[in-house]
Amino acid sequence: MSHATPTRGVRRRTLVTTHPEPPEGFRTSGVPASGTRLVLIRHGEATCNKEGVFGGPLGCRGLTELGRRQAAALLERLLMSRELMTSSVLYSSTLSRAVETAAILAPGIANLAVELDEELCELQPGDADGMSWEQVIATYGEPDWDADPSRVVAPGGESWLGFYERCERALRRIVAQHRGELVVLVVHGGVIEQAMKMLFDLAPETRMRLRTENCSMTEIEFSERGKRLLRYNDRAPLAAE
């Protein structure tokens, strides 16, 4: 019976197959993300949204049943894909609809504790908090932010410019605190619009009027190369009802 003689000093080569990248001048895809990645998740459908109420701290009463199912559908995806399991921190606005969404999603985001951040809230309603939209317009009028973006919605509330400035300040602070990390923020459609304006270096008074879906994910990378959109409105939709 013969035995193979062990070979010494011979390196075993592992065959690794890679697809050759086109030269830089021909390349349409970007390099892999290596900077700070912010994943902004819009909350599920909210009771105040469904009822047509200005939902600040008083007017926000959390998610509808559909909103909870939307969050559960996204959680199911996250548990299967594990795409956010390397996240270092999970932030949420302090409004109930965001806090409830974040609590549902947390098991799919590395089981992180939810850190509340008031600067991530939707546009502040001030004295209009909890009013129906009809009551807001009857009492304070409807702001024309295209003509005057500095006009507040109601006493104690924010203007379109003030909203942008707060969101920009909050997002820059978070990027500075978590360099090179994957950060998840459960926020609002308005906050995501302000982030997109930052991304594209648009003027603070710009109104993009995006249609950001409930429980969708928008991912922006901040690095030495600049800012880059990695995805927008990425969601796990429920079946049509």
Catalytic amino acids? 43, 122
| CA gap 17, 159 in Å, rounded | 55
User: Pick from 202, 240, 194, 201: which is nearest to 218 by CA?
Assistant: 194
User: Pick from 239, 240, 227, 223: which is nearest to 35 by CA?
Assistant: 223
Distance of CA 96 to the CA centre of its chain: 16
